[in-house]
Amino acid sequence: MLIHFKSCTKVALDFTFPENIHECLRLTNEFRQLPKKHKAREDKLENFLKLLSKINEKRNKCGTISECEI
């Protein structure tokens, strides 16, 4: 159970489907545009790299992401 005391955006890699990759990339780019000392600009890049790693892993198993069954 998660309790958020303040509004936030969280992308959980366990629940990221291939059809949502573009939205994850869009959010990552929004976070990058925040000022360096902004509260919401935490370690988002690490999550982005994990996402790319999962995409690459899936691509290696299937050939391309579009060929994979969801």
Domain ranges of the chain: 13-67
pLDDT in tens, 52-67: 888 878 777 776 555 5
Contacts 24+ apart (CB under 8 A), 11-20: 11/47, 11/51, 13/47, 13/50, 13/51, 13/54, 16/51, 16/54, 17/70, 18/55, 18/58, 18/65, 18/68, 18/70, 19/70
At 18-49, the pLDDT tens digits run 777 788 788 778 877 888 787 776 665 677 77
